[in-house]
């Protein structure tokens, strides 16, 4: 790496040649001495999604001229002033222009206190504004079953447009025009729903303000809890334990699994189950389906179906590959179906009175629960899906201090999940979990090493091949729909061949889902948020006593006493679904 | 579904007693209960958890843990060891002789001093923003005397510690105020606490195997950021006292500072730069030792007053000719500022801008005045930071005088919390090396405490806690009361305290907030009384940093007063004071002419010529 010397506010720095001024400033945030760190505000910037910040705020002074720090590259001996009067004045002017188009309904906005724009306004002394809702407002786009767009709040940063287009290859949101005059709108005039949106929620996750959000279902949960007729079950997705803490200012990547059951019980849930159990069940069915396809010349490659964002994408953009999709429901739907059949029978409770609430890192799950073919027991498998953000808001309102609750276990019988189940939350986890079971079943021998490290990590496309009982299994793992798109093009054209593919819509998998707390763009630039969250799951797996789904004693018992075999008629009815061309 | 029950935290107790206690309030159970969630509470919990990862620790904070406590309002520097490796004995000798002479527990001092840098490194390892050099090592300002060093620490210290504690699976409960400790019937050991949540007033009962108090002491100073309230009220001290803990050195509770008239901030280090209106250096005139000492002596404070009374105002500091200490420690040297605390200064700049304070307009000859703060930090702990109550540990400021450290230097506000947390954390881990067991709570005790705590809510009297606080404030800011004491003054104050005590049972409250205030005011008064009872007993004058000065006994009397004054609650509830000889025969540093009393022999062997 070639470094050159430059100066920020008179202090010397060595920086990589070819870097932008902003990149050097962001890199400087890692320096041990806090006084060496350089702050440059960049409200539009988002690493890898919006690398050039056109807000007008991201300016510094070089040779007496104001330049955009996000697209000006450093030169040897460059002297950058980041705090001069001219710089501050320019930033304030730019901020006031953006503020002029922003609905200043801050006091009742759900993003207040974690709004990136608000943070900057405070930093630059915009504290005496009249924080009132705009008088003229455009209507909210509520056409989608999951997501809401509020253009009144939009600050035209284009992060949503870029993530939807460049990262996800969905292009449901478009931008026309320039600067603050630009119009950010769905690709269809009739709204987001008609724009082939797959509800992945990545646009919500990157939005710096409150312009995009999920439809809030928390009232449904509170109503069910208040209803004494209802038996309310919560199930908690793997990624939730690696991310819920962030909403309460825990450090990134802290596993709060032990705090969750007591917190949910305090809210009033009757039972708190672990969706890891559903994940183990999924592996039983999916590994079985895969082996059947392998052994009986079924349609290959088989592609995972845990991710509802991916499913809808496939239905829209790769209808010819619907046959490749596994028929397995996603884990929380499976657990919901079991709760309303087997468990309802065990408890002698009317399945109509069971309310299953899934707590998910995901916005697309809100759509999934409403799909056809997701009512295994004749009633919807899942009644409400809450994102981690919604759960955090409920806990906060109910004054449940997750920092203080005692450490308790999930409830029996579906409180026990394996290490294989917990890694579902990271890209590659489903594949690894499936391989742990499939390879053992094929070889009928115990695996020597449980780590399939080729499919781990945050890279968007991962490939590997394994040999089991003399059969070579070629696998691929992709995350991010853009990556899925390029892989599937190669598969469709015959350029690449795989037996088994795992697809997750969100880059990095569920730990980067669209329903998670918002790390700021600056945090994203400085830390590998996804890797930190994923490492919480992998260390949970390592700590687990049982790390293979088929060794989960409750899974074994469920098959013995109720389902019979994986792929049995009962399993098909409860745990499998179908897809539609859109 | 079934409605959420309040006693959910009680576990699966079958005993009837526990069921009855569950009816009194929401019960929280843990191995260790830490009361106070500022720097000492969090750091102690972290240290204990690091050494004993299986321990279930619950930290309870009356404010928002991580965002409340004195260290979120102070935060300038943190005391370090001198980078040049000055021997501990050299530093100790200076501290023993200069601050509150010979009152130190020198054995503790010798254990304590070497751990200053370690404690800063501990905070750094917990993710706290401690001043660093570009190469990542601790920034250590060399003090001119080379006896100790000074590092920088940011006001985000508690926020960082809170995060680290959560990462280690420590439980943290905010907005709950604990007013009484619970003890075991068998041996009186501390096994919990009782209080209420500040939002709704719900009774919260805590059950644990051991308790650590980290609540600051009583601090009758209204500082910026305290919203016009005292910095600490003494509820932890009061609870410990009633549970049987001993207090020590309460008479050494007055802190005097030179402050700049214009901005009300102390000018640390300008003690030897004070001049009167005629331009005479009055530090040299009044300060013992010709103005070279590091602190405001009682003599200097009284001298400042005398100069003004004699028609020589104003008192001003000559910052144009600063000594090294000022340059390094003061908040006004840009490079030091930048190294030390970016967040603090960012915040102050914003506040100053908004409030049009006098930042930058202070000048180099600011007018100075005196400021007194009575801070009662008298909870006695031994070298392992154990109180006299079994199972009750303590760390941080509330033990500052009670442990007889008396080596207080600049940077020891945060530094003391950090160092004592290391001691307490280690000691707690040791206590848990064998399971201490969890005795049953005593139903009658819990009920009695609850009744007492909630009593002001049921009173229809017109007395307000402010009657007590306003009077304490007036008294503690009067130089003739806080600093320049005499028997006449002390007795007058004690009489007044007796009158104020009559108000305590008449205080009334109508919400959790005012209820807390009533209970706090009662303990403030208790702490205030300790100061004057002990001051009455000590018939001599001694000390600079926390001076005890009696105009009727103006000299230091090493012949009769190498003693600590201890305070305990007597069996019938009265305040019992008794002295204890300071075991100078075990210590390296003794006043000239000191003779080992009969019945004791020399117990410290060192070639003193080499120190």
Q: In chain B, what residues touch A254 (CB-CB under 8 Å)? A: 166-167
CB A163 within 8 A of CB A202: yes
Give the integer Cα–Cα distance in Å for A468 and A444: 10
CATH of domain B24-252+381-444: 3.50.50.60
CB A148 within 8 A of CB A142: yes
A406–chain B nearest CA distance, Å: 7
Rounded to an integer, the average pLDDT of B30-58 is 98
Task: Say whether residue A258 is in contact with chain B using an 8 A CB cutoff.
Answer: yes
Domain boundaries, chain B: 24-252+381-444
Give the integer Cα–Cα distance in Å for A115 and A174: 23
Q: Which of A13, A35, A255 to mutate to test the interface with B (most CBs of B within 10 A)?
A: A35
Q: In chain A, what residues touch B174 (CB-CB under 8 Å)? A: 401, 403-404
Give the integer Cα–Cα distance in Å for A388 and A246: 10
CB A495 within 8 A of CB A470: no
Dmax (CA) of chain B? 81
CA angle in degrees (0–180, nearest 5) for A339-A342-A344: 60
The most confident of A177-181, B139-143, B524-528, by mean pLDDT: B524-528
Task: Say whether residue A223 is in contact with chain B using an 8 A CB cutoff.
Answer: no
Tens of pLDDT, residues A167-207: 999 999 999 999 999 999 999 988 998 889 999 999 999 99
A142–chain B nearest CA distance, Å: 32
Task: Say whether residue A396 is in contact with chain B using an 8 A CB cutoff.
Answer: no
Residue B379 has pLDDT above 90, yes or no: yes
What distance, in Å, lies between the first and last C-alpha atoms of chain A?
Answer: 49
Task: Say whether residue A533 is in contact with chain B using an 8 A CB cutoff.
Answer: no
B164–A251 C-beta distance less than 8 A: yes
Task: Say whether residue A221 is in contact with chain B using an 8 A CB cutoff.
Answer: no
CA-nearest of B438, B471, B14, B390 to B206 is B438
Give the integer Cα–Cα distance in Å for B533 and B238: 15
- Give the Cβ contact number of residue B433 at 10 Å: 9
Give the integer Cα–Cα distance in Å for A575 and A555: 13
Q: Which of A230, A251, A353, A403 to mutate to test the interface with B (most CBs of B within 10 A)?
A: A403
Task: Say whether residue A527 is in contact with chain B using an 8 A CB cutoff.
Answer: no
Residue B347 has pLDDT above 70, yes or no: no
Tens of pLDDT, residues B479-510: 888 889 999 999 999 999 999 999 999 999 99
What confidence score (pLDDT) does residue B152 get? 84
Angle between the N-to-C axes of helices B443-454 and B16-24, in degrees from 0 to 180, rounded to the nearest 10: 10
Give the integer Cα–Cα distance in Å for A365 and B371: 62
CATH of domain A147-214: 3.30.70.20
Q: Which of B166, B168, B200 to mutate to test the interface with A (most CBs of A within 10 A)?
A: B166
Residue B60 has pLDDT above 70, yes or no: yes
Tens of pLDDT, residues B183-241: 999 999 999 999 999 999 999 999 999 999 999 999 988 765 455 678 899 999 999 99
Give the integer Cα–Cα distance in Å for B546 and B537: 17
B164–A250 C-beta distance less than 8 A: no
Helix (H, G, I), strand (E, B) or coil at B171: strand
Q: Name the token pair of A161.
A: 């447009």
Give the integer Cα–Cα distance in Å for B208 and B210: 5
pLDDT band of B267, cuts 50, 70, 90: low
A417–chain B nearest CA distance, Å: 21
Q: Where do you find CATH 3.40.50.1780 in chain A?
A: 219-575
What confidence score (pLDDT) does residue B462 get? 82
Closest partner CB to B342 (pick from A34, A224, A268): A34
Pairing between β-strand A500-504 and β-strand A302-303 as defined by DSSP bridges: parallel
What confidence score (pLDDT) does residue B338 get? 43
Burial category of B111 from C-beta neighbours within 10 Å (exposed 0-12, middle 13-18, buried 19 and up): middle
Please state which CATH class domain A219-575 belongs to: alpha beta
pLDDT band of B467, cuts 50, 70, 90: very high
- Give the Cβ contact number of residue B23 at 10 Å: 12
Residue B611 has pLDDT above 50, yes or no: no
B353–A401 C-beta distance less than 8 A: no
Tens of pLDDT, residues B384-411: 999 999 999 999 999 999 999 988 877 8
CA-nearest of B495, B519, B496 to B507 is B519
According to DSSP, the residues that pair with B232 across neighbouring strands are: B219
What confidence score (pLDDT) does residue B155 get? 82
Give the integer Cα–Cα distance in Å for B25 and B182: 14
What confidence score (pLDDT) does residue A473 get? 93
Residue B597 has pLDDT above 80, yes or no: yes
pLDDT band of B292, cuts 50, 70, 90: low
pLDDT beneath 50: ranges in chain A:
none
- Give the Cβ contact number of residue B465 at 10 Å: 25
What confidence score (pLDDT) does residue B73 get? 74
Does a cis peptide bond (omega within 30 degrees of 0) precede residue A166?
no
Quote the strand ranges of A202-261, DSSP E: 212-214, 231-236
Alpha helices, H only, B148-201:
157-167
A558–chain B nearest CA distance, Å: 25
CB B533 within 8 A of CB B253: no
Q: In chain A, what residues touch B28 (CB-CB under 8 Å)? A: 404, 406
CATH 3.10.20.740 fits A3-94, yes or no: yes
CB A157 within 8 A of CB A42: no
B172–A34 C-beta distance less than 8 A: no
The ipTM is: 0.93
pLDDT band of B294, cuts 50, 70, 90: low
- Give the Cβ contact number of residue B363 at 10 Å: 13
For residues A227 and B333, which has the higher predicted lDDT (pLDDT)?
Answer: A227
Q: In chain A, what residues touch B163 (CB-CB under 8 Å)? A: 249-251
pLDDT band of B154, cuts 50, 70, 90: confident
According to DSSP, the residues that pair with A73 across neighbouring strands are: A20
Give the integer Cα–Cα distance in Å for A230 and A221: 11
Q: In chain B, what residues touch A249 (CB-CB under 8 Å)? A: 66, 159, 162-163
- Give the Cβ contact number of residue B380 at 10 Å: 25
What confidence score (pLDDT) does residue A76 get? 95
Q: Tell which phi-psi region holds residue B130, choosing left (phi > 0), alpha (psi between -120 and 50) or beta.
A: beta
Q: Where do you find CATH 3.30.70.20 in chain A?
A: 147-214
Looking at residue B314, what DSSP letter applies?
P
CA-nearest of B378, B375, B96 to B254 is B375
**What is the per-residue burial (b if ≥16 Cβ within 10 Å, else e) of A119-146?**
bbbeebebeeeebeeeeeeeeebebbeb
According to DSSP, the residues that pair with A14 across neighbouring strands are: A5
A401–B4 C-beta distance less than 8 A: no
CA angle in degrees (0–180, nearest 5) for A261-A147-A503: 70
Residue B8 has pLDDT above 50, yes or no: no
pLDDT band of B358, cuts 50, 70, 90: very low
What confidence score (pLDDT) does residue A494 get? 93
B172–chain A nearest CA distance, Å: 5
Residue B542 has pLDDT above 50, yes or no: yes
């Amino acid at each position: 790496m070639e470094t050159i010397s430059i100066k920020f506010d008179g202090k010397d720095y060595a920086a990589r040649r070819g870097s932008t001024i902003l990149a050097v400033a962001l890199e400087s945030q890692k320096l041990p001495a806090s006084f060496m760190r350089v702050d440059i505000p960049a409200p539009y910037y988002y690493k890898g999604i919006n690398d050039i910040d056109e807000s007008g705020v991201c300016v510094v002074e070089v040779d007496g001229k104001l330049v955009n720090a996000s697209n000006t590259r450093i030169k040897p001996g460059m002297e950058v002033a980041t705090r001069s009067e001219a710089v501050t004045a320019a930033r304030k002017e730019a901020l006031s222009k953006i503020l002029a188009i922003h609905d200043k309904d801050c006091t009742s906005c759900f993003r207040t206190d974690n709004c990136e724009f608000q943070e900057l306004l405070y930093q630059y002394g915009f504290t005496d504004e009249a924080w009132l809702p705009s008088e003229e407002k455009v209507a909210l786009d509520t056409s989608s079953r999951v997501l809401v767009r509020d253009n009144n709040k939009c600050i035209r940063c284009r992060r949503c447009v870029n993530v939807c287009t460049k990262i996800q290859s969905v292009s449901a949101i478009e931008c026309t025009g320039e600067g603050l005059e630009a119009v950010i709108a769905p690709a269809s005039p009739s709204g987001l729903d008609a724009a082939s949106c797959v509800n992945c929620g990545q646009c919500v996750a990157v939005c710096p303000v409150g312009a995009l959000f999920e439809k809030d279902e928390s009232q449904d949960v509170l109503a069910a809890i208040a209803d004494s007729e209802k038996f309310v079950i919560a199930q908690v997705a793997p990624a939730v334990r690696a991310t819920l803490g962030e909403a309460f200012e825990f450090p990134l990547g802290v596993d709060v699994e032990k705090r969750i059951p007591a917190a949910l019980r305090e809210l009033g849930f009757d039972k708190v189950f672990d969706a890891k159990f559903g994940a183990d069940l999924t592996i039983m069915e999916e590994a079985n389906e895969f082996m059947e396809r392998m052994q009986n010349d079924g349609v290959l490659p088989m592609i995972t179906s845990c991710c509802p964002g991916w499913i809808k994408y496939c239905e829209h953009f790769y209808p010819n590959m619907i046959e490749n999709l596994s028929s397995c429901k996603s884990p929380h739907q499976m657990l919901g179906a079991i709760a309303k059949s087997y468990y309802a029978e065990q408890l002698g409770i009317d399945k109509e009175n069971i309310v299953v609430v899934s707590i998910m890192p995901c916005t697309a799950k809100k759509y999934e629960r409403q799909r056809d073919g997701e009512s295994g027991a004749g009633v919807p498998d899942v009644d409400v899906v809450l994102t981690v953000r919604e759960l955090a808001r409920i806990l906060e309102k109910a004054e449940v201090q997750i920092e203080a609750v005692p450490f308790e276990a999930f409830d029996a019988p579906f409180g026990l999940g394996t290490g294989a189940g917990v890694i579902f939350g990271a890209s590659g986890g489903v594949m690894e979990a499936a391989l742990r079971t499939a390879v053992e079943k094929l070889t009928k021998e115990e695996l020597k090493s449980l780590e399939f490290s080729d499919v781990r990590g945050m890279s968007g496309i991962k490939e590997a091949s394994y040999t089991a009982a003399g059969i070579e299994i070629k696998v691929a793992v992709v995350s991010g729909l853009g990556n899925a798109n390029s892989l599937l093009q190669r598969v469709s054209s015959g350029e690449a061949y795989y037996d088994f593919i795992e697809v997750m819509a969100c880059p990095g998998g569920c730990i980067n889902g669209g329903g998670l707390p918002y790390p700021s763009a600056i945090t994203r630039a400085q830390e590998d948020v996804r890797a930190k969250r994923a490492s919480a799951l992998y260390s949970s797996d390592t700590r687990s006593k049982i790390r293979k789904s088929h060794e989960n004693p409750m899974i074994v018992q469920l098959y013995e006493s109720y389902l019979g075999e994986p792929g049995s008629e009962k399993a098909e009815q409860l745990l499998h679904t179908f897809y539609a061309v859109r | 579904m079934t409605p959420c029950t309040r006693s959910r935290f009680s576990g699966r107790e079958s005993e009837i007693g526990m069921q009855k206690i569950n009816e009194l309030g929401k019960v929280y159970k843990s191995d260790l209960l830490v009361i106070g969630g500022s720097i000492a509470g969090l750091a102690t919990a972290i240290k204990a958890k690091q050494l004993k990862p299986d321990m279930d620790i619950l930290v309870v904070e009356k404010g928002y843990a991580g965002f409340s406590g004195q260290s979120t309002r102070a935060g300038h520097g943190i005391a370090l060891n001198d980078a040049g490796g000055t021997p501990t004995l050299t530093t100790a000798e200076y501290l023993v002789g200069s601050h509150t002479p010979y009152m130190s527990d020198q054995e503790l001092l010798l254990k304590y001093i070497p751990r200053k840098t370690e404690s800063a490194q501990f905070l750094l390892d917990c993710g706290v923003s401690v001043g660093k050099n570009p190469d990542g090592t601790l920034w250590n300002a060399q003090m001119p005397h080379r006896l100790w060093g000074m590092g920088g620490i940011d006001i985000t210290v508690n926020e960082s510690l809170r995060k680290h504690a959560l990462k280690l699976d420590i439980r943290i409960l905010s907005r709950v105020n604990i007013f009484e400790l619970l003890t075991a019937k068998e041996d009186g050991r501390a096994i919990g606490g009782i209080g209420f949540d500040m939002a709704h007033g719900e009774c919260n009962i805590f059950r644990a195997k051991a308790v650590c108090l980290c609540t600051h002491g009583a601090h009758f100073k209204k500082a910026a950021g305290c919203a016009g309230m005292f910095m600490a009220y003494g509820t932890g001290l009061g609870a410990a006292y009633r549970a049987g803990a001993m207090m020590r050195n309460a008479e050494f509770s007055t802190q005097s500072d030179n402050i700049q008239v214009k901005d009300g901030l102390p000018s640390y280090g300008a003690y030897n730069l004070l001049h009167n209106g005629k331009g005479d250096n009055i530090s040299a005139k009044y300060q013992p030792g010709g103005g070279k000492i590091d602190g405001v002596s009682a003599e200097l404070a009284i001298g400042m007053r005398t100069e003004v009374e004699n028609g020589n105002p104003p008192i001003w500091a000559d910052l144009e000719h600063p000594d090294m200490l000022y340059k390094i420690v003061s908040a006004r040297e840009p490079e030091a500022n930048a190294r030390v605390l970016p967040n603090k200064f960012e915040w102050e700049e914003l506040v100053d801008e908004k409030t049009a304070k006098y930042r930058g307009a202070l000048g180099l000859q600011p007018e100075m005045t005196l400021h007194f703060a009575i801070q009662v930090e008298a909870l006695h702990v031994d070298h392992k930071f154990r109180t006299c109550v079994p199972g009750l540990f303590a760390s941080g400021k509330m033990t500052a005088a009670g442990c007889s450290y008396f080596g207080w230097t600049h940077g020891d506000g945060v530094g003391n919390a950090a160092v004592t947390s290391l001691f307490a954390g280690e000691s707690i881990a040791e206590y848990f090396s064998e399971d201490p067991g969890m005795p049953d709570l005593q139903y009658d005790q819990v009920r009695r405490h609850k009744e007492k705590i909630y009593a002001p809510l049921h009173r229809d009297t017109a007395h307000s806690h402010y009657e007590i606080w306003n009077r304490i404030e007036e008294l503690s800011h009067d130089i003739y009361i806080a600093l320049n004491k005499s028997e006449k003054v002390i007795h007058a104050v004690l009489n007044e305290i007796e009158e104020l005590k009559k108000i305590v049972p008449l205080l009334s409250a109508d919400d959790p907030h005012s209820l807390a205030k009533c209970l706090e005011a009662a303990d403030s008064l208790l702490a205030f009384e300790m100061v004057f009872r002990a001051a009455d007993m000590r018939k001599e004058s001694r000390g600079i940093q926390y001076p005890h000065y009696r105009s009727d006994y103006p000299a230091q009397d090493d012949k009769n007063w190498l003693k600590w004054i201890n305070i305990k609650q007597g069996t019938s509830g009265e305040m019992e004071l008794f002295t204890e000889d300071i075991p100078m025969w075990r210590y390296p540093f003794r006043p000239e002419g000191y003779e080992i009393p009969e019945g004791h022999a020399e117990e410290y062997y060192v070639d003193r010529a080499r120190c």
